[in-house]
Amino acid sequence: MDVKFPTMTATIAMTERSYYQTAEEIGVEMELVKAAQKDPHSFGPLYNAYYKRIVAYVYHRMESKEEAFEITAQVFYKALSNIAGYKNKGVPFSAWLFRIASNELNAAFRKNKRSRIVSLDEEGLAELKTEIETATSAQDEALFKAMEQLDADEMELIDMRFFEQRSFKEIAEILEMGESACKMRTYRILDKLKTKLKHL
């Protein structure tokens, strides 16, 4: 795992930090999903709505534009192939797409024996430091060292929660785990970071 600050206009658009949708917005989106389930030619609006965000999600983790576009194409191919079986669980449709993207990324990392990239931004870093009660920039280097000692799946959760600003509900959906279990795991990882910081 490599920890770094973003270089390319951060990740196509780390301007989109909020993934929250209201129940009404999810309802409208589900109408698009139902249309695509009846007729694959109606998948276009969903593709257009989420293409850039999936590319950003993938690029954020590997920093290869070419590979990001290839994996994103595979994500949407699989989504279209399996949309008939999609079921609404009360979270944005994007959570399902991000889960497919996460699986595709993990497969690519295993195949190529590469480490994932973690792009840090100042706002997310500030929130993480608040959670683990690390206030000064002088401690940033120690925090980075502590984060490098996390397992890949632990860093993935921290990344999604603090640097992508996802809700626990959406993270749980992407990682296919219960929301309560997701929260508990996050707090355990934060405690692990605190412990590691004490010894650095």
Tens digits of per-residue pLDDT, 28-57? 899 999 999 999 999 999 999 999 999 988
- The neighbour count for residue 88, using CB atoms within 10 Å, is 14
* Structural domain harbouring 65: 2-198
Q: Taking the C-alpha atoms of 105, 47, 49 and 104 in order, what is their torsion angle to the nearest 10 degrees?
A: -10
What is the number of domains present in the chain?
Answer: 1
Tens digits of per-residue pLDDT, 91-149? 788 889 999 998 999 888 888 766 666 667 788 888 898 888 876 655 778 888 888 88
Note the pTM of the prediction, 2 decimals. Answer: 0.73
Please report the pLDDT score of residue 17 as a whole number.
44
Rounded to 10°, the helix 44-62/23-38 angle is: 110
